[in-house]
Chains A and B, each alone.
Chain A
Amino acid sequence: MKTLGERDELRNTSSRGTRILGGLSLVGIVFMGLIGLWWSPEDSDMGDLVRIMYVHVPSAWLAYMAFILTAIGSAMFLWKRSVWWDLVAGASAEIGVLFCALALVTGSLWGRPTWGTYWRWGDARIVTTLVLLLMYVGYLALRHVDGDPTQRSKRAAIVGLIAAGNIPVVRMSVVWWSNRTLHQKDTVTLADTKLDNMQLVALLFGVAVFTILFAWMLLHRFRIAWLENETEQRGLEQALIERRSESLVKADRALGAAEVRP
């Protein structure tokens, strides 16, 4: 039976960096709750419903960020043929899908009491975001299809680039179809801020915390993908042999240490 210290020496997805990011995310989420639910005032128009925005907006931000990183990873894979970039693209897309879905769910929860409906088919941003989500669900499905890893990566990279074409459409949908959306145009601008100070803090703090959370999730997911890829490349048998030899070396060390001890 290995001790916790010995387990840490084995290859796993945790490191000092991820532990710091994870800790910061956890503390940040606690403070997000405090700022969002207690310390910030209710909105003059929306009342308490504005508090959903402190999760909705950072979720949407994180989804954009994740999908843009997937596009960069896809382009870099096609250029450099580097597995590293392919795995970054895949890991980022998974997180993006999760938070894009969260943005849609929180948006629906906000829309029901505000607009009187969970879903508005006529709203350009909602519809384009849903299409974006479906495109990346397809992208993830393609990544899980069996076959030659290089071919799979190339196919995924091309689909990742096609799907990225929808990101600016979602972003600009409130401007291009301003008469077909209930979403307001950018509320937070440096020149003209319409939000209360504490509301702005809650929103920006949420975005910052979710960015750290994204980094933490991405590192873990990437490392899992890397280990999966290594296993796939070398074969399970080879990985098992290495793992056994690692255990033997540790056992030898432990035995040597025991012999030295009086």
Chain B
Amino acid sequence: MWGEITLVTGKDLRIERRSRVGLTQIAPFAVTVLVLFGFALEGDSATLRTFTAGLFWVAVVFTAILAVQRSFTVESVNDNRDALRLSGLDPIAIFLGKAAALVIELLVLEVVLGCVVAVLYGGSVHSAGLLGLTAVVATIAVASAGTIYGVLAASLRVRETILPLLLLPVLAPVLIAATRAFEDALGEAAVNGWSWLVLLTLTAVVYTAFGALAFGTLLEES
């Protein structure tokens, strides 16, 4: 199983490394979103610092949609999806492999965004542990939900429009919990970030478990 997971993850990451779509299109898009927030809030540093956590996660969620679409676009060319179905790999391994590749891509993106936020918005970190753990767990939840809905929308003609409509409400709990936990980690609000992290972990576990169960059926139908 582990071998199959790393095989799929390696394949997706290799494609991204060679195509450089993530580097040349998805990451610049995420940075642009953060810059636009700055324009919309008139570059007021105090306001930007107050809302840093929320703006950061909104940028991540929007960018995740592009990353998910990209993850399944690479399967749609040259009948790759059929090849994946015929490969004999366990559907659970394919799900976990693709989700893991998304987690790695999004984590790299979050590091880049974190640096941009530090420069453009300012602010300081109060709890690096909470910040790091929240980022990892929230990204797992985003990637799991994204992979389920990605395969579900992959073969639809309206996939570009239906994917955000289906995915964004499901990511709303992740956005809320990750934002609250980040607010605590950045010292911007008096909330208990660790309790939000527990909720986030629960969400990530549920999405991952459900995705692992449903992915096989959805892959066969895509």
Contact = CB atoms under 8 A, between A and B. Distances in A.
Interface residues of B, number: 21
Contacts of B152: 155, 158-159
**A interface, by DSSP: helix, strand, loop or mixed?**
helix
Contact of B162 (A134, A142, A150): A142
Contacts of A161: 210
Interface in B148-170: 148, 152, 155-158, 162, 165-166, 168-170
B166 A158 contact: no
Contacts of B162: 138, 141-142, 145
Contacts of A169: 173
Nearest to B167: A138
Contact of A151 (B148, B157, B170, B221): B221
Given A131-B172, A147-B156, A162-B170, A141 B217 contact: no
Nearest to A131: B172
Nearest to B191: A180
**B interface, by DSSP: helix, strand, loop or mixed?**
helix
A155 B221 contact: yes
Contacts of B156: 145, 147
B95 to A, nearest CB: 13
A135 interface: yes
Nearest to B157: A146
A171 interface: no
B165 A141 contact: yes
B214 interface: yes
Given A145-B156, A162-B170, A162-B210, A155 B218 contact: yes
Interface in A122-167: 127, 131, 134-135, 137-139, 141-142, 145-147, 150-151, 154-155, 158-159, 161-162, 165
Contacts of B166: 138-139, 141-142, 159
B217 A135 contact: no
A142 to B, nearest CB: 6
Closest 4 CB pairs of A and B: A134-B169, A138-B166, A135-B169, A151-B221
Given A127-B176, A162-B170, 17 more contacts: A131-B169, A134-B172, A138-B162, A138-B165, A141-B165, A145-B157, A145-B158, A147-B156, A151-B155, A154-B221, A155-B218, A158-B148, A158-B218, A159-B152, A161-B210, A165-B210, A169-B173
